[in-house]
Amino acid sequence: QNTVRPLPTLKDLLVPAAPRSPGRKPGNFLFLHEDSFASTHPAAHVADDNESDDIAVLRALLPSRVDERVHNAMNKWIAETQPPIALNREDTFAINSNLKFIWIGLQWDVISTANAPCELGIVAFCLDRNGVCKHKKEIVYWGNQTSALDALTHKAEGKPGDDETLKLSLYQAKVGRVQEVVIFVNIRDGRKLGQSFSNNVRRLKCTCYDKFGGRYRDFAYVIASPPFAKGATNLEVARLKFQDDAWQFRCTRSETTAPLKQIYEKFCDFDESPDVPKKLKGE
């Protein structure tokens, strides 16, 4: 008579990783032991048509659970051994030239008003070597998610906890002759709703980082917190600039009471078309 053993828990299936070199202690990273599942439950070897629903669910969920724990452990180790640099205004961080992409993640803590939520959004201008945005496609914001040639994209798969994310492809930026990216955070309809950074934003963080799958390394970050200029609805947080054959991340952290219309006119040099200006200039 065969005895059916209880299903193993996820904890039972996870064991410390082996040392990578002699004398090195095992890390805190958890991996699935290749024999643990089979040894603790013989039913794992039966055909898929005959396995129980519980076994099938466990088999489907286990890889993603293990990957998540491994990524989290690895990200924690990277953050502890290579901590990011906090930038003050006008500080610059030189980015590794071997990267293919630069990621920018923004997080914020806002105070909504009784009549409307406080909604923040990225507005990024892609500039040429003369510091000019030459086409409406080069403005990335909620109404245009991708710049020309996909050099700069407004992504949804950034780091956990990010409210909005930008991804800069360094090759596409070179092809598209993008030399600088100016990153603003705007309170949508802030002037209309009577909202501002001084009244409605507790804290804002902008992080420059590298990312591969579920793993990432933060290079540098900018923190913006009160006091802000009274009535300001736009904040230039940082800039990415290609200079001296390398990309740099510079903290600008400068809020302004000027509407997006004036910011648009400052950076853009092309004939107006009816779509982009209407969306931007009403903010």
**CA separation, residue 97 to residues 1, 32, 100, 209, 212 (Å):** 65, 35, 8, 13, 16
Residue with tokens 């892609």: 126
Of the candidates 211, 267, 270, 259, the one whose C-alpha atom is nearest the C-alpha of residue 239 is 267
The H or E element containing residue 57 is helix 53-81
pLDDT (0 to 100) of residue 35: 40
- Per DSSP, 48 falls in state G
Low-confidence ranges of the chain (pLDDT < 70): 1-66, 271-283
pLDDT (0 to 100) of residue 177: 96
The H or E element containing residue 265 is helix 260-267
pLDDT (0 to 100) of residue 4: 38
Residue 133 to residue 152: CA distance in whole angstroms: 13
pLDDT (0 to 100) of residue 72: 87
- pTM: predicted TM-score of the whole model, two decimal places: 0.75
Domain boundaries, the chain: 14-81, 85-281
CATH code for the part of the protein at 85-281: 2.60.60.30
**CA separation, residue 141 to residues 97, 110, 131, 170, 241 (Å):** 27, 19, 19, 19, 19
- Longest pairwise C-alpha distance within the chain: 83
Count of alpha carbons within 13 Å of 173, Cβ hemisphere only? 24
pLDDT (0 to 100) of residue 109: 97
pLDDT (0 to 100) of residue 117: 93
pLDDT (0 to 100) of residue 9: 35
pLDDT (0 to 100) of residue 97: 77
pLDDT (tens digit per residue) in 242-277? 998 999 999 999 999 998 889 999 999 876 644 555
- Per DSSP, 90 falls in state T
**Positive or negative, the Cα torsion across 180, 94, 252, 108?**
positive
CB 123 within 8 A of CB 139: yes
pLDDT (0 to 100) of residue 280: 67
pLDDT (0 to 100) of residue 16: 44
